[in-house]
C-alpha cells in the first residue's frame, strides 16, 4: 500500500491511555468557517481543553486504526462518490445527561447515519469494532466539565445561541500532533 505524507504524531509519551486510540486521527464533518468561529468562541469560553484539541466539528468515524494509505483514500473516494450532499441542521443546545457535556443536536440523523455507514464500510474499518456507531451526531460545546456545570451551561445557552444549517459536501480527515491538537489534512468530497 502506498504511503501518504500525513503528519502523524511522533511522541505520544505524555498522552493518556484513551487518547492513544486517536493517534491516527479520524474522519469529521467541519462546518463552514463562520459557524466554526462562533462555536469555537463558546468552546474557548466554556471548555478550553476541547477548544485546544480541535476546531468545532461533528465526529463521523471511529478513530482510524492505522496509518492511512493511498488505497484507503481511493476507496473512500469511490464509496463517498455515491453519497449525495445533504443539508445539516444544527441547534437544540442541550446537556448530554447522564454524562457531562453540552452539544448542538445535528440533523437529519438518518442522512448522517448513512454517511457514517458509508465511511465504516471501507476496508480501513472492517476489522474495527464500531463502538460509537449509535452515538447521536452532535457538535460539542463543552465536554470536560462536570455534570452540574453541563446542566447549568445548557440552560444558560438555550435560546441565546444561533442555530442554522450548512450543506455537507465533504468529509475531512484530521490527525493530532504531539500535543493532541487535531489538524485537518485531507478532504474527501461527496458526489456532485
Scan for cell 441542521, then name that residue.
89
Residues in the chain: 192
Superfamily of domain 23-189: Cyclic phosphodiesterase (3.90.1140.10)
Taking the model in full, what pTM does it have? 0.94
Q: Helix 109-120 to helix 70-80 angle, to the nearest 10 degrees?
A: 140
The predicted-structure confidence for 17-55, as pLDDT tens digits, reads as follows 989 999 999 999 999 999 999 999 999 999 999 999 999
Please tell me whether residue 134 adopts helix, strand or coil conformation: coil
- Ordered by start, the domain boundaries in the chain are 23-189
User: Environment class of residue 4 by beta-carbon count within 10 Å: exposed (0-12), middle (13-18) or buried (19+)?
Assistant: middle
Is the pLDDT score of 3 beyond 70?
A: no
* Nearest alpha carbon to residue 27 among 166, 185, 177: 185
**How far is Cα of residue 99 from the mean position of the Cα atoms in its chain?**
18
Is the pLDDT score of 156 beyond 60?
A: yes
Amino acid at each position: 500500500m502506498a504511503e501518504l505524507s500525513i503528519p502523524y504524531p511522533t511522541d505520544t509519551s505524555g498522552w493518556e491511555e484513551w487518547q492513544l486510540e486517536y493517534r491516527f486521527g479520524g474522519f469529521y464533518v467541519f462546518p463552514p468557517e463562520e459557524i466554526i468561529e462562533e462555536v469555537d468562541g463558546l468552546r474557548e469560553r466554556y471548555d478550553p481543553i476541547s477548544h485546544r484539541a480541535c476546531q468545532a466539528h461533528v465526529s463521523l468515524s471511529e478513530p482510524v486504526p492505522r496509518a492511512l494509505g493511498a488505497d484507503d483514500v481511493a476507496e473512500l473516494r469511490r464509496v463517498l462518490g455515491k453519497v449525495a450532499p445533504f443539508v445539516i441542521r444544527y441547534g437544540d443546545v442541550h446537556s448530554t445527561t447522564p454524562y457531562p457535556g453540552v452539544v448542538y443536536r445535528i440533523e437529519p440523523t438518518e442522512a448522517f447515519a448513512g454517511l457514517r455507514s458509508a465511511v465504516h464500510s471501507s476496508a480501513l474499518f472492517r476489522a474495527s469494532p464500531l463502538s460509537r456507531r449509535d452515538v447521536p451526531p452532535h457538535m460539542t460545546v463543552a465536554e470536560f466539565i462536570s455534570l452540574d456545570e453541563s446542566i447549568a451551561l445548557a440552560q444558560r445557552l438555550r435560546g441565546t445561541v444561533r442555530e442554522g444549517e450548512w450543506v455537507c459536501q465533504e468529509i475531512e480527515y484530521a490527525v493530532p500532533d504531539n500535543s493532541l491538537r487535531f489538524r485537518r489534512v485531507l478532504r474527501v468530497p461527496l458526489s456532485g
